[in-house]
C-alpha cells in the first residue's frame, strides 16, 4: 500500500509539473480521479482500523475469559499459543521482532 501511495504521489507531481496544454476540463477529470483515489485510501485505512480494533477486542475477551472463568483448557491453549510464537515451525527458527513481549518475558529470544 505504501508503494501504491508513493507511486500515486509521483504521478500527481508529474501531472502538476506538465501542465502545458491542459484546459479546465482536463483538470476537472484529474480532480475527479484524485477524489476517487483519496476515497480508496481512506477506505483502506478504515478497514485496517476495524481489523485492529476487532483483534484488540478479541484479545481482551480471551484475557478476561482466562482470568474470570478459569478453565485449564483455555490456559493450556493460551500457553501453547505463546510457546509456538517463540519456537520453531517445521524445524526452522521463527524470527520475531525484538520487541515481542511474550518471548522476552520467557527468555526465548
Least confident of 16-20, 40-44, 60-64, 68-72: 68-72
What nine digits make up the cell of 35? 477524489
Question: pLDDT per residue over 1-45, tens digit each?
Answer: 788 888 888 888 888 788 766 777 888 888 898 899 889 889 999
Q: Under DSSP, is residue 89 helix (H, G, I), strand (E, B) or coil?
A: strand
User: What's the rounded mean pLDDT across residues 53-59?
Assistant: 90
pLDDT-based confidence at 104, cuts 50/70/90? low
* pLDDT greater than 50 at residue 61: yes
Amino acid at each position: 500500500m505504501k508503494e501504491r501511495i508513493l507511486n500515486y504521489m509521483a504521478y500527481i507531481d508529474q501531472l502538476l509539473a506538465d501542465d502545458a496544454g491542459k484546459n479546465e476540463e482536463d483538470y476537472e477529470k484529474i480532480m475527479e480521479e484524485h477524489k476517487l483515489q483519496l476515497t480508496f485510501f481512506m477506505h483502506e485505512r478504515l478497514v485496517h482500523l476495524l481489523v485492529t480494533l476487532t483483534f484488540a477486542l478479541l484479545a481482551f475477551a480471551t484475557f478476561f475469559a482466562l482470568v474470570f472463568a478459569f478453565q485449564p483448557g483455555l490456559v493450556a491453549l493460551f500457553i501453547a499459543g505463546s510457546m509456538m510464537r517463540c519456537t520453531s515451525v517445521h524445524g526452522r527458527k521463527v524470527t520475531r521482532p525484538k520487541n515481542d513481549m511474550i518471548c522476552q518475558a520467557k527468555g526465548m529470544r
